[in-house]
C-alpha cells in the first residue's frame, strides 16, 4: 500500500449504529484519527435494530460532536458493510472493544467480514477505561427512567434524549 493511499481518508472506516453516539464512541474516533490521520465514521441505517433516532439525527449528533476534529468524514450506508468497503476501497474497519462480553459478537463479525472481503482488516481499539461500561442502549435506559447521563454523552444528545423520552427531570449540564 503506497503512502498516498494510506493518507486517503476513504480507506479507514468506523461503522456503527450510533443510536446515539456516546463519549466512548468519541474516544474511539479520536484514537483512530490519531493512528490513521483520517477516518470515515459510517452510520449504518440498521432498520432491523429500530433505532430510536433517525439516520439524520444520528449524523447530526456526530457532526456536532466532531466539529473541531480534523480528518473526520461522516457517511451513511444501508446494506452489507463489505459491499460498502469494496465500493469505496476501504482496507481497515475500526471497532471498539470494551469488555470480554463484546468479544464473541465482534469476533464473529470480523470473521464473516473477512470471508466476504479478504482485503479488509478489522482493528479493535479499546476506549479509556472510564468508558468501558458505556453503551448506547444503557444510555437510553437510564434516560427513560429520568437518570443523569450528562457525563456519558454530548450535551446535544442529552437534550434530544430528554425530548424523546419526555423526561423534563433529566439534567442538562
Point out which residues bind ligand PNS (CB under 6 A): 15-17, 44, 46, 80-81, 109, 112-113
Minimum distance from residue 44 beta carbon to ligand PNS (Å): 4
- Out of 5, 7, 49, 155, the active site residue is 49
- Out of 25, 95, 140, 160, the active site residue is 25
- Out of 98, 140, 160, 162, the active site residue is 98
Q: Which residues pair with 76 in a beta bridge?
A: 43
The b-or-e profile of 91-130 (16+ CB within 10 A means b, else e) is bbbbbbbbeeebeeeeeeebeebeeebeebeeeebbbeee
What is the side-by-side strand order in the sheet with 39-44? 72-77, 39-44, 12-16, 92-96, 121-125
Minimum distance from residue 168 beta carbon to ligand PNS (Å): 29
Minimum distance from residue 124 beta carbon to ligand PNS (Å): 13
Query: How many beta carbons lie within 10 A of that of residue 81, not counting itself?
Result: 20
Asked if 49 is an active-site residue, the reply is yes
CB of 113 or CB of 170, closer to ligand PNS: 113
CB of 126 or CB of 167, closer to ligand PNS: 126
The catalytic site residues sit at 25, 49, 98, 136
Amino acid at each position: 500500500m503506497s503512502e498516498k493511499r494510506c493518507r486517503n481518508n476513504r480507506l479507514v472506516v468506523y461503522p456503527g449504529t450510533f443510536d446515539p453516539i456516546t463519549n466512548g464512541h468519541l474516544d474511539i474516533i479520536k484514537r483512530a484519527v490519531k493512528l490513521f490521520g483520517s477516518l470515515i465514521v459510517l452510520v449504518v441505517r440498521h432498520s432491523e435494530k429500530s433505532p430510536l433516532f433517525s439516520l439524520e439525527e444520528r449524523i447530526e449528533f456526530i457532526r456536532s460532536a466532531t466539529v473541531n476534529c480534523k480528518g473526520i468524514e461522516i457517511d451513511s450506508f444501508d446494506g452489507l458493510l463489505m459491499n460498502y468497503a469494496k465500493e469505496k476501497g476501504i482496507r481497515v474497519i475500526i471497532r471498539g472493544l470494551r469488555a470480554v462480553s463484546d468479544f464473541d459478537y465482534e469476533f464473529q463479525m470480523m470473521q464473516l467480514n473477512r470471508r466476504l472481503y479478504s482485503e479488509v482488516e478489522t482493528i479493535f481499539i479499546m476506549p479509556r477505561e472510564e468508558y468501558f461500561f458505556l453503551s448506547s442502549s444503557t444510555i437510553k435506559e437510564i434516560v427513560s427512567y429520568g437518570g443523569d447521563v450528562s457525563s456519558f454523552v454530548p450535551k446535544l444528545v442529552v437534550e434530544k434524549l430528554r425530548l424523546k423520552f419526555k423526561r423534563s427531570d433529566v439534567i442538562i449540564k
